[in-house]
Copies of this chain bind each other. A is one copy, B any other.
Amino acid sequence: MGFWKNLFSGSGSSSAPTLATAEVPVTQGVGRISKTPAPKLAQPQICFSQDREIDLYELERLCDAVGWSRRPLRKVRKAIKHSFLVISMWELQGDESRLIGFSRATSDHAFNATIWDVVVHPDFQGRGLGKALMKQIIKELRRADISNVTLFADPHVIDFYCELGFAPDPEGIKGMFWYPNSR
């Protein structure tokens, strides 16, 4: 099994990507047809992975970039280890790779999954990459026969998730959070 899955080639397009199922080796580089060989290898690729080990400092930089509160790396490592699914998104250029997106899900491996920590680097937002990442995580959860895919959405991303097929409060079901010291 290949390590990477190609999303689409080129980073300059503003159109929404469609997910490609082909896997491409990171070291080969797949570019558009060109008369000059050198740019072919330098063509950036956006890929995702379920398997690649995450450098926690790189993930922290990504989360810093979107303004999330810092969390102890020890706990982040534990949370990733005990997530059912972790999908990372990368920009690949030559031998270089840069973490540009991340998402994970907890699950009972049977009925329910809850998606947490969906993040795309600001430099890569507005290109449909968040949608591509979400579609991939939904696809993998459905492949695992998880029927109840859930998440908790901040107000400013509710429309984003609606477009992906998520419904808020279906049949009046409420997402609820427990607050310490409230009782």
Contacts and interface: CB of A to CB of B under 8 A. Distances in A.
Interface residues of A, number: 53
A142 interface: yes
Interface stretch (A16-24, A37-45, A156-164): A156-164
A114 interface: yes
Contact of A161 (B78, B168, B176): B176
Q: Give the oligomeric copy count.
A: 2
A170 B176 CA distance: 7
Interface stretch (A7-15, A94-102, A104-112, A119-127): A104-112
A83 B114 CA distance: 13
A138 to B, nearest CB: 6
Interface string A128-169: 000000000010001000001111111100100111111111
Given A82-B109, A112-B116, A174 B152 contact: yes
B172 A175 contact: no
Residue of A158, A174, A179, A182 with most partner-chain B CB within 10 A: A174
B178 A166 contact: yes
Given A83-B108, A110-B82, A175 B178 contact: no
